[in-house]
Amino acid sequence: MAQHNKSEVTLEALEAEIADLIDDPALREEWLNTKIPILESKTPKSYFHTPSDRTRLMQVVLEMKFGEIA
């Protein structure tokens, strides 16, 4: 049980990773509102609302950050 809580991605942690990936606020906002194919053609911002969606978005952000996806 504790592992589920430990792995839950907070909105603050997600926003920090996104800011680290895209430091320009205007570009970051544009990306957050762009439909992304790997996110089922939804916007990254639409993934902010539930723990499972935040976890999925964090996976994508980290893959982008470390060059695992284009």
Name the burial class of residue 23, with classes exposed (0-12), middle (13-18) and buried (19+) by CB atoms within 10 angstroms of its CB: exposed
pLDDT bracket for residue 2 (50, 70, 90):
very low
Residue 40 belongs to some domain of the structure: yes
Total domains present in the chain: 1
Structural domain harbouring 24:
2-65
Question: What 3 state SS string does the chain have?
Answer: CHHHHHHCCCHHHHHHHHHHHCCCHHHHHHHHCCCEHHHCCECHHHHCCCHHHHHHHHHHHHHHHCCCCC
Question: Residue 7's pLDDT is what?
Answer: 73
pLDDT bracket for residue 6 (50, 70, 90):
low
Residue 48 belongs to some domain of the structure: yes
Residue 29 belongs to some domain of the structure: yes
Q: What is the pTM of this model?
A: 0.84
Question: For the residues 38-66, what does the mean pLDDT come to?
Answer: 96
Residue 70 belongs to some domain of the structure: no
pLDDT digits (tens, 9 = 90+) for 10-48: 999 999 999 999 999 999 999 999 999 999 999 999 999
Residue 31 belongs to some domain of the structure: yes
